[in-house]
């Protein structure tokens, strides 16, 4: 399989950046998208050219590090799939592929396809944890939790913080990410003690980071590789309203 790639190249955060054309030759359709980029980079290194910088870590769809816009879609054309789990069999020989980094003011480009997503870390530090002493890990059935609540918490906890929701939203909103983290703890008894200050602190930090407001277009849900539902945004809004009313 031979492909034409247009890749965003940017030396550093101050560089203006531009799209550059590359040829990907003899690509096996069993390769993942990142493995295809590895092959392209090997060729660039052999030519004495600086390779394309991109984020990656687990390459198993777990960590959320592989953050790329592929032909204008976060994580590429396949639903519920991270870039590292996107395989080249979903493309055709002769295809032209455009590869760009996340585009958001709160995610500044550091180099090429690498963006700074530490804004998510600061939101989590603002309240995305349980700080009270909950003791050691109890037996599975020692703390009764309704199955509906447990399922809701697990669905929210599936968020890997990749930022696809931000990249796909025209306002670069982080509502889906923050809502998933808030709802995860609000659904469990361990998180109830701090639920009011948690949602207020995390929303305030989200606003300070420069993320936009929710557009209600559901693009975040469509782009999410873990299929996090927008119902969590509604849950977070209720949590926030209750926290501000009863402060």
Q: How confident is the model at residue 144 (pLDDT cuts 50, 70, 90)?
A: confident
Give me 138's structure tokens: 């109890």
Mean pLDDT of 73-85: 97
Collapse the DSSP code of 81 into the 3-class scheme (helix H, G, I; strand E, B; otherwise coil) and give the result. Answer: coil
Tell me the DSSP string of 57-69.
S-SSSSS-----E
Domain interval for residue 226 = 118-245
pLDDT > 90: what percent of the chain? 91
Contacts of 10 (CB under 8 A, 6+ apart): 16, 17, 18, 101, 109, 111, 112
Final residue of a structural domain among 47, 80, 110: 110
Same domain, 142 and 213: yes
Indicate the residue among 56, 80, 110 that finishes a domain.
110
Helix (H, G, I), strand (E, B) or coil at 148: helix
Which ranges of the chain would DSSP assign to H, the alpha helix?
33-46, 118-127, 147-157, 164-168, 175-186, 195-209, 219-223, 231-245
Do residues 140 and 95 share a domain? no
Give the pLDDT of residue 135.
72
Q: Residue 11 maps to which CATH number?
A: 3.10.20.30
Q: Please name which of 223, 179, 219 lies closest in space to residue 64, comparing C-alpha atoms.
A: 223
28 beta partners: none
Rg (Cα) of the chain, in Å, rounded? 20
pLDDT at 139 over 80: no
């Amino acid at each position: 399989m031979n492909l034409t790639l247009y890749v965003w190249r940017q030396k550093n955060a101050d560089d203006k950046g531009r799209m550059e054309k590359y040829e990907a030759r003899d690509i096996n359709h069993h390769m993942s998208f990142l493995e295809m980029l590895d092959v392209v980079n090997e060729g660039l290194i052999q030519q004495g050219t600086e390779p394309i910088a991109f984020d990656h870590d687990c390459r198993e769809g777990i960590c959320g590090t592989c953050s790329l816009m592929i032909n204008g879609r976060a994580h590429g054309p396949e639903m519920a799939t991270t870039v590292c789990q996107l395989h080249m069999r979903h493309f055709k020989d002769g295809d032209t592929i455009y590869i760009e980094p996340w585009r958001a003011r709160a995610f500044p480009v550091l180099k090429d396809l690498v963006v700074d997503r530490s804004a998510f870390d600061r939101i989590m530090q603002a309240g995305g944890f349980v700080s009270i002493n909950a003791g050691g890990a109890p037996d599975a059935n020692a703390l009764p939790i309704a199955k509906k609540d447990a399922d809701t918490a697990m669905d929210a906890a599936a968020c890997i913080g990749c930022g696809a929701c931000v990249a796909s939203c025209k306002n670069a909103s982080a509502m889906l990410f923050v809502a998933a983290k808030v709802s995860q703890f609000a659904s469990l008894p361990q998180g109830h003690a701090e639920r009011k200050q948690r949602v207020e602190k995390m929303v305030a930090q989200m606003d300070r980071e420069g993320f936009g407001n929710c557009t209600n277009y559901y693009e975040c849900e469509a782009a999410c590789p873990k299929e996090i539902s927008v119902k969590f945004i509604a849950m977070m809004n209720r949590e926030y309203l209750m926290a501000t009313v009863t402060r």
